[in-house]
Amino acid sequence: MDTLSATAQRQASAVRFDLAETSVRELNHFLHRELPGSGIETIEIVHPAGQHNIAVGVDAPVKIDIYGHVGYFVGGMNKQADITVHGNVGWSVAENLMSGSVRVKGFASECAGASGHGGLLVIEGDASSRCGISMKGIDIVVGGSVGHMSAFMAQAGHLVVCGDADHGLGDSLYEAVIYVRGQIHGLGADARVEPMQESDYAKVAQLLAKAGFDHDPREFKRVASARTLYHWNADANQEY
Amino acid sequence: MSKPLYLENNATFGSNTLHYIHRAAEVGLYDIRGLGAKRRVPNFDDLTFLTASVSRYPLEGYREKCETRTVLGTRYAKKPLVLDIPITIAGMSFGALSANVKEALGRAATQLGTTTTTGDGGMTPEERQSSKTLVYQCLPSRYGFNPDDVRKADAIEVVVGQGAKPGGGGMLLGQKINARVAHMRCLPQGIDQRSASRHPDWTGPDDLAIKIAELREITDWEKPIYVKIGATRVKNDVKLAVAAGADVVVVDGMQGGTAATQQVFIEHAGIPTLAALRQAVEALEEIDMLGTVQLIISGGIRSGADVAKALAMGADAVAIGQGVMMALGCNRPDYFQNGAHHSALADYEKLGTAVGHCHHCHTGRCPVGVTTQDPVLEQRLEPAEGARRVKNYLQTLKMELTTLARACGKSDVHHLEREDLVALTIEAAAMAKVPLAGTDWIPGLQRY
């Protein structure tokens, strides 16, 4: 692993950024402008010290390891990169994730994976409230529990919760599907528990395997939209 | 027998109120509609210019130059927007509007050296290709929002609220959700698409600051970041938007339009654009940010006179939505297709409405092809023709604006000032904080 000058770093296949010495702006500039096509395959980031917006907007097939706790929006709008945070994260980790993956070895604050379009977000610990809010195709696997209003208005993708889910789960869901292994403390409007089908077991097994968890898929419940909010009749007999 | 004569001329229960109550009693639900507020509120018509005579010196209207160049985003962005005119096209979504319309708006904006803006449906390739300078909205719904488009944009507008429904979300009815719209929004075709009233990843001004920083980081601090608010607690909201890092604040007054929302919201939430503008300027003055952070005002801007008055009151630019839709042909009796005019009257009749009364934006059955995704109806608005109309409309506004500015003795439209205005009503004088015409009285202000 190189820890040399910027010039030397750019010639190496693996580089390290020390955020005690380098700003997040410089890091992101490198990730956006110098990384693509550079041949660099691995990046280590140390001393993040809870700073926000680390490694946002990456669009390159690179492996990024962040050692320590980070602030808001880490890995936001990521494409292609596989990002691992060896610590806890603040709000909105992997916000609007497009592809690639973000893995949190610790715990996540609110809005994890908000409005994510694709890719995989894994949180090995718990996630706070509104996990997966407005998700649009992302897959999220949480090793622990999720807070209230998780998957609010989630449109597409899957949220797998290996622990418990707090109240308001799946409020106003569209076509996203939630799988919960533990206790559900309350469903939101239009969300309902449905029977697991073989395709559900297969999907849960696939996502658990990707995330590195070995739970039995048959321990999970399926939560999906009752679809009672899908059509407003504005013309005549106005009713849902 | 069916006519309740005893209610006629009743100021409290007029015919509209009677109709509303009867309808509510029948169906048990509120109305949803498009367009903006129909009630009269104090507006720019209630102001007039004190043009030059002896005490001030006018410029010659047909010979002397009046500058309209406008720069937005000078606070932090490495690449501020330089526009030829202080008139921009407001965000309107693909989905609410057809792809042809979005392309027409892009063409018109490019021809006039100004911006158009995406909307709740994301950025279409047609819109990007036709728009030299495009503002990309980051809305609570995040339909179609992605970093590739962020990078393609020239500025980013974080939409917090909308003048027609401040504090409210939205609903694009399933009738307008064709396959393309549904694909862009990551939802099945034909179902209602609700837009959340709040962003999924931040909740307050401190979070907004970090969100704006994220967008700046992704765009390498090159592009201006706008924050758009619906006009309610304008002073606080403008100050907080500035504190959060906005380069440009967009304030949308209660006359602003929408694709579809509850009528009660349109008519009974928010404050008039006139009042909102004055408060926004005061907010910037109080935090010494006037000129550093640019201000765009929107919500019922119709004419060059409106633009001139908005600039005189302190706006750097205006944004126009509904006026542009009307320029495209909204509520016209005919449409222009394949080189000829065609009557749309039968289609209005089928909808149970008429020219001048149509507000079927939400149903997707627009007889002139503006607010539709119907494959037949959308062809009634051809991009070239739409662009021609919008260009002409905005060009007219520019000419009116410069005419008034010259008459006030200004060689630059941004030199218009509040001293150039007086009010025709006490309400407008109080809201705009300009004197009532013929007096030096500004209601609410002590004068010595």
Q: Which residues contact B8 (CB under 8 A, 6 or more apart)?
A: none
Closest A-chain CA to B183? A136
Report the pLDDT averaged over residues B48-67.
94
- Provide the mean pLDDT of chain B: 93
What would the pLDDT profile of B205-233 be if each residue is shown by its tens digit? Answer: 999 999 999 999 999 999 999 999 999 99
Say yes or no for a CB contact (<8 Å) between B202 and A91.
Answer: yes
Report the pLDDT averaged over residues B327-340.
94
Nearest-by-Cβ selection for A72 from B173, B192, B210: B210
Query: Which is more confidently placed, A156 or B447?
Result: A156
What's the gap between Cα B402 and its chain centre? 21
Contact present, A196 and A222 (Cβ < 8 Å): yes
Residue B136 in contact with partner chain A when CB distance is under 8 A: no
- DSSP assignments along B99-119, one per residue: HHHHHHHHHHHHHHT--EE-B
- DSSP assignments along chain A, one per residue: ---S-HHHHHHSSEEEEETTTS-HHHHHHIIIIISTTS---EEEEE--TT-SSTTTT-BSS-EEEEES-B-TTTTTT-BS-EEEEES-B-TTTTTT--SSEEEESS-B-TTTTTT--SSEEEESS-B-TTTTTT-EEEEEEESS-B-TTTTTT--EEEEEESS-B-SSBTTT--S-EEEESS-B--B-TTEEEEPPPHHHHHHHHHHHHHHT----GGG-EEEEE--TTS----SSS---
What would the pLDDT profile of B263-306 be if each residue is shown by its tens digit? Answer: 898 999 999 999 999 999 999 999 999 999 999 999 999 999 99
Mutate to test the interface with B, among A158, A235, A239, A240 (most CBs of B within 10 A): A235
Say yes or no for a CB contact (<8 Å) between A234 and B173.
Answer: yes
Nearest-by-Cβ selection for B218 from A77, A156, A238: A77
Say yes or no for a CB contact (<8 Å) between B146 and A235.
Answer: no
Please report the pLDDT score of residue B432 as a whole number.
97
Mutate to test the interface with A, among B218, B222, B362 (most CBs of A within 10 A): B218
Contact present, B129 and B104 (Cβ < 8 Å): no
Residue A239 in contact with partner chain B when CB distance is under 8 A: yes
User: pLDDT exceeding 70 applies to what percent of chain B?
Assistant: 98
Nearest to B133 by CA among B67, B177, B89: B89
Please report the pLDDT score of residue A236 as a whole number.
42
Nearest-by-Cβ selection for A239 from B29, B196, B362: B29
- DSSP assignments along A121-164, one per residue: EEESS-B-TTTTTT-EEEEEEESS-B-TTTTTT--EEEEEESS-
Write down the residue that tokens 């009046």 correspond to. B66
Please report the pLDDT score of residue A10 as a whole number.
53
The pLDDT of residue B190 is above 50: yes
For B49, counting Cβ atoms within 10 Å of its Cβ (0-12 exposed, 13-18 middle, 19+ buried), the class is middle
Residue B217 in contact with partner chain A when CB distance is under 8 A: yes
Report the pLDDT averaged over residues B106-119.
97
Contact present, B86 and B68 (Cβ < 8 Å): yes
Name the minimum distance, in Å, from the CA of A35 to any CA of chain B. 14
Please report the pLDDT score of residue B2 as a whole number.
58
Say yes or no for a CB contact (<8 Å) between A57 and B218.
Answer: yes
Half-sphere exposure of A135 (CA within 13 A, CB side): 36
Tell me, what's the ipTM? 0.93
Q: Which residues of chain B lie closer than 8 angstroms to A111, CB-CB? A: 200-202
**How many of the other CB atoms lie within 10 Å of CB of B407?**
19
How far is it, in rounded angstroms, from Cα B362 to Cα B144? 20
What would the pLDDT profile of B144-184 be if each residue is shown by its tens digit? Answer: 999 999 999 999 999 999 999 999 988 888 888 889 989 99
Going residue by residue through chain A (240 aa), what tens digit of pLDDT does each one get?
Answer: 444 445 455 557 889 999 999 999 999 999 999 999 999 999 999 999 999 999 999 999 999 999 999 999 999 999 999 999 999 999 999 999 999 999 999 999 999 999 999 999 999 999 999 999 999 999 999 999 999 999 999 999 999 999 999 999 999 999 999 999 999 999 999 999 999 999 999 999 999 999 999 999 999 999 999 998 888 655 544 344
Contact present, B120 and B102 (Cβ < 8 Å): no
Please report, as a single letter, which amino acid is at residue B45.
D
Please report the pLDDT score of residue B107 as a whole number.
97
What would the pLDDT profile of B304-320 be if each residue is shown by its tens digit? Answer: 999 999 999 999 999 99
Please report the pLDDT score of residue A4 as a whole number.
44
Residue A72 in contact with partner chain B when CB distance is under 8 A: yes
Please report the pLDDT score of residue B5 as a whole number.
57
Nearest-by-Cβ selection for B191 from A59, A137, A231: A231
Please report the pLDDT score of residue B20 as a whole number.
87
Nearest-by-Cβ selection for A73 from B185, B200, B214: B214
How far is it, in rounded angstroms, from Cα B437 to Cα B416? 18
Q: What does pTM read for this prediction?
A: 0.94
What would the pLDDT profile of B372-422 be if each residue is shown by its tens digit? Answer: 888 999 999 999 999 999 999 999 999 999 999 999 999 999 999 999 999
The pLDDT of residue B1 is above 60: no
